[in-house]
Amino acid sequence: MTSQTFFFFFIPILSIILLSVNLILAPHNPYEEKDSAFECGFHSFLGQNRSEFSISFFIFALLFLLFDLEILLVYPYVVSSYVNGVFGLVIMLIFFIVLTLGFAFELGKNALVIDSRQMRITNTTH
């Protein structure tokens, strides 16, 4: 049996097993609000519309995209590392240094700190 034939049989069997384990062990407690459609025109949940939204969430999303694209840009180097030689290695090191410096700059500016409303302690009994 070749490896390709093995995977043609193994992958569907593994996916069926994992899906059935999920159906058996996952909690099922649907309620009306959970099963309802949430589309434009429907009323939003109480307190979720037009509330302030922290810019930190967008910064996290941009960082995720940046480092996700980093993996995409590093992959061709890894595949052809024997052909690239020292020049390719130096270019990749410069790329990683620039990314690391940018990340350290954001950490230094506390751009990744999210002020949560849940973490604020409001003690009015002073």
pLDDT digits (tens, 9 = 90+) for 41-77: 555 555 555 566 667 778 888 888 888 888 888 888 8
Q: Using CA atoms, how far apart are residues 120 and 118, in angstroms rounded to an integer?
A: 6
The torsion defined by the Cα of 88, 90, 92 and 93, in degrees rounded to 10, comes to: 160
For residue 64, the enclosing domain spans 56-115
What is the overall mean pLDDT for the chain? 78
Question: What are the pLDDT digits (tens) for 10-24?
Answer: 989 999 999 999 999
9 within domain boundaries: no
- Tokens encoding 23: 């159906």
71 within domain boundaries: yes
93 within domain boundaries: yes
Residue in this structure with the two tokens 């941009």, named with its chain if needed: 62
Closest CA to 67 of 95, 113, 99: 99
**Whole-model pTM over 0.75:** no
5 within domain boundaries: no
What's the number of domains the chain is made of? 1
Mean pLDDT within 100-105: 89
Cβ atoms of 66 and 98 within 8 Å: the answer is: no
48 within domain boundaries: no
Q: How far is CA 48 from the centre of its chain?
A: 23
78 within domain boundaries: yes
Residues 6+ apart with CB under 8 A from 64: none
